[in-house]
Amino acid sequence: MKIFQYDTIDSTNNEAKRLIQQGETPLFAVYARQQTAGRGRLGRPWETPTGNVAVTMTVKPPKDLSTQSTIAPMTALAIYDVLKPLMRAEDRLAIKWPNDILINEAKVSGTLIEADRSAIYIGVGINVETKPEHVPYKTICLSELAEVKAEKLVTELTAAFEKYYTRWQHEGFGTLTSLYNKRLFRLNQPLRISLDREKQTWQEGICCGVNQDGHLQLKDDQGHMKAHSAGDIDAPR
């Protein structure tokens, strides 16, 4: 995969869009050593100081647009593979549905996926040297576990992503669900999911993994299963 590298830009997703407008053709990646206007889901800011990873993989939209949502969990598998060798014996690595990566239940990586008619932009942020402190959830950086070079991580991540993307293109996400579920945060444990953006309404159940559409399945205390396509998840309080 071709990688465009920058010292500092506003956002790797934004730069990928600019490259598309200038005639660049997917598949390619954009990597910045520092990102000044990164963002996460729902427009939340995502910090990328020098030493952390900000990279956007850019791909063509699938012919069947209904499969596009499964790019998120597919990407999480690639990030997981790259981070797994860095873990110590006592560390617990997990995918928090659909695509956050947790180490010891603290967030180390997040993904923002945007799309237009020309391309899909999969922006991945990984806390390597530093972590955000003033956020309402636990965070961790890889430097707390091992010595890691951001450039090497980007090379490994883009290669892992391309491998999974090729498989996803030819076989769909259905063949990856078992692998994904084995790595899922709180699989077969109680979990709750928000049903609204304001997080005022929640539903609780036992996490039964995702289905072939990447939807999270929760089983309630009556044994009824419901699949959720969106929402923030958390352990029950």
Share of the chain above pLDDT 70, in %: 95
Which is nearest to 12 in space by CA: 47, 37, 43?
37
Strand stretches in the chain, DSSP E: 2-9, 28-35, 53-59, 93-96, 100-103, 106-115, 120-126, 190-194, 202-210, 216-219, 225-228, 233-234
Q: Is the dihedral of CA 52, 108, 44, 5 positive or negative?
A: positive
- Please tell me which residue, 131 or 39, carries the higher pLDDT value: 131
Query: Residue 82 pLDDT more than 80?
Result: yes
Q: What is the pTM of this model?
A: 0.94
Token readout for 5 is 């590298």
Q: What angle is formed at CA 51 by the lines to CA 13 and CA 22, rounded to 5 degrees?
A: 25
Q: What angle do CA 236, 43, 162 make, to 5 degrees?
A: 85
Q: With b meaning 16 or more CB within 10 Å and e meaning fewer, what string describes 161-191? A: bbebbeebeeebbeebbeebbebbbbbeeeb
Ordered by start, the domain boundaries in the chain are 2-182, 190-234
d(CA 57, CA 158): 7
Mean pLDDT for the stretch of residues 39-59: 75
Of residues 237 and 215, the one with the higher pLDDT is 215
113 pLDDT more than 60: yes
Question: What is the CATH topology of the domain spanning 2-182?
Answer: BirA Bifunctional Protein; domain 2 (3.30.930)
* Mean pLDDT (whole number) for 103-124: 96
CA 209 to mean position of chain CA atoms: 16
**Cα separation of 51 and 157, whole Å?**
16
Task: Write the CATH number of the domain with boundaries 190-234.
Answer: 2.30.30
Q: What is the mean pLDDT of residues 76-89?
A: 97
